Structures are given as structure tokens and as C-alpha cells.
């Protein structure tokens, strides 16, 4: 059912800053959000799964340009959204890629996007932030959009970095990005103006060390 909903409300198209990858993307965010709530008959989170957000595009670009970061390694794409970053990691040669999200529509979109790009991605539904599963690499795109989200995500990412994982954030200057990170790359990323109020976001890849 979730897969049918994703396919009915999106269309496959190249990702603006990562054109070698295809993503099921929606044209109109507000109409889609209203459709998700009508379908579920209850309040639903924004359809993060239906768009190529700037932080995810930056991380995907960085991973594809530097495949040695993930090749042959285990990778977690935290709060995967559309699965864009997970797909990029799989395309770059990761041995195992796990895409995690609390939204079942997100995981349905991730599965559809993995199929569209002919890669294998494992799906993990639920909140992993109180766990300590070990991955060689943890990738998180656009997770610093609220104080509460950062308060939950940051301890998980710092614990992973302390254990020796490579932890990378993609962020387009969100208000709650924590201090003390190491910048690895920066680009001007095309975004949906209906979502971001601007056509381009200056976006950076940061490492938590």
C-alpha cells in the first residue's frame, strides 16, 4: 500500500545535483502532505521522502565523489527520507547499506528508489537513537532542522564517532547545526523553491570527530 502511494504521488527524475541518480520526486509539497493526511485519516509528518533535500544531495555527491569512504564498509543512512544518501552509498560500493526512518512511507520510497537505481539497500523502521549498533560509516542529511531533533540525534552520532565510525552530516545552514564540526565540502545546491523559499542553498558536508 505504501509503495503504491509513493508511486502514485511522485515521478522518477534525476536528482538536480546528483544527476547520475534517479529519485521518485513530487511536484507539489503542500498538496502531497494533504494527501498523506487524507490517506491516513490523521496528522502525518511532512513528506520528507518525496524531495531531494539539500543536505542529502550534498552527502550523496560527496560519497559518490569519494567512494573510498564507503567502499566495502557498512553504512547507516540515518533518517533516510527518500533514501537518496543510502542509494549513493550503495552505488559507491558499500558492502552493506541500512536506511533507517520512523516513517513507513519513507522506507517505501527508499525501496522504490533503490530499485530505480538498481542497488540493494536494507530497510530499518523505527527510532535507533537509543541503540549502539556499530557501523563503519553513519550518514545523516538535513537532521538539524529543530532543537528537539538535534537533542536526540547528536548524542547518537557522537557516540558512534567515539567508537571510531566515520560520521558525516549534510546541512544547508539549518538553525540548530551544532558547533565544533569539521567541514569537508561545500556547494551551492539546487532546491525546490516551494520548500526552501530560495532556488539554491549553500550546503556543507561536516564530519563529527
Higher-confidence position of 69 and 7:
69
Q: Can you give the pLDDT at residue 34?
A: 72
Q: Is 93 helix (H, G, I), strand (E, B) or coil?
A: coil
Tell me the C-alpha distance between 22 and 14, whole Å.
4
Q: What is the C-alpha R_g of the chain?
A: 16
Domain residue limits at 176: 2-208
pLDDT > 90: what percent of the chain? 78
Q: Which of 25-29, 58-62, 113-117, 179-183 has the lowest mean pLDDT?
A: 25-29
Cα–Cα distances (Å) from 114 to 70, 85, 111, 132, 144, in that order, read: 17, 10, 5, 26, 25
Confidence band, pLDDT 50/70/90 cuts, at residue 196 = confident
Does the structure show a pLDDT above 70 at 39? no
Q: Can you give the pLDDT at residue 52?
A: 93
pTM: 0.93
**Interstrand relation of 122-125 and 137-141 (parallel, antiparallel or unpaired):** unpaired
Q: For 153-194, what is each residue's pLDDT tens digit?
A: 999 999 999 999 999 999 999 999 999 999 999 999 998 887
- Which CATH number fits the domain that encloses residue 167? 3.40.50.150
Q: For 54-83, what is each residue's pLDDT tens digit?
A: 999 999 999 999 999 999 999 999 999 999
How distant is the alpha carbon of residue 203 from its chain centre?
14
**Total number of domains constituting the chain:** 1
Tell me the C-alpha distance between 105 and 3, whole Å.
7
Q: For 128-147, what is each residue's pLDDT tens digit?
A: 999 988 999 999 999 998 99
Does the structure show a pLDDT above 70 at 37? no
Amino acid at each position: 500500500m505504501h509503495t503504491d502511494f509513493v508511486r502514485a504521488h511522485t515521478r522518477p527524475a534525476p536528482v538536480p545535483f546528483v544527476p547520475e541518480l534517479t529519485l521518485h520526486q513530487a511536484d507539489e509539497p503542500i498538496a502531497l502532505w494533504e494527501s498523506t493526511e487524507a490517506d491516513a485519516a490523521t496528522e502525518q509528518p511532512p513528506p520528507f521522502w518525496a524531495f531531494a533535500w539539500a543536505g542529502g544531495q550534498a552527502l550523496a555527491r560527496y560519497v559518490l565523489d569519494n567512494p573510498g569512504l564507503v567502499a566495502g564498509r557498512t553504512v547507516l543512512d540515518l533518517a533516510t527520507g527518500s533514501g537518496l544518501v543510502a542509494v549513493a552509498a550503495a552505488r559507491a560500493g558499500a558492502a552493506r547499506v541500512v536506511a533507517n526512518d520512523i516513517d513507513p512511507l519513507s522506507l517505501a520510497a527508499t525501496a522504490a528508489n533503490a530499485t530505480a537505481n538498481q542497488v540493494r539497500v536494507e530497510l530499518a523502521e523505527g527510532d535507533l537513537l537509543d541503540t549502539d549498533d556499530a557501523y563503519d560509516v553513519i550518514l545523516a542529511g538535513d537532521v538539524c532542522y529543530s532543537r528537539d531533533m538535534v537533542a536526540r540525534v547528536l548524542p547518537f552520532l557522537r557516540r558512534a564517532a567515539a567508537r571510531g565510525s566515520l560520521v558525516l552530516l549534510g546541512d544547508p545552514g539549518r538553525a540548530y547545526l551544532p558547533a565544533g564540526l569539521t567541514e569537508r565540502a561545500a556547494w551551492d545546491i539546487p532546491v525546490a523553491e516551494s520548500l526552501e523559499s530560495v532556488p539554491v542553498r549553500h550546503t556543507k558536508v561536516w564530519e563529527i570527530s
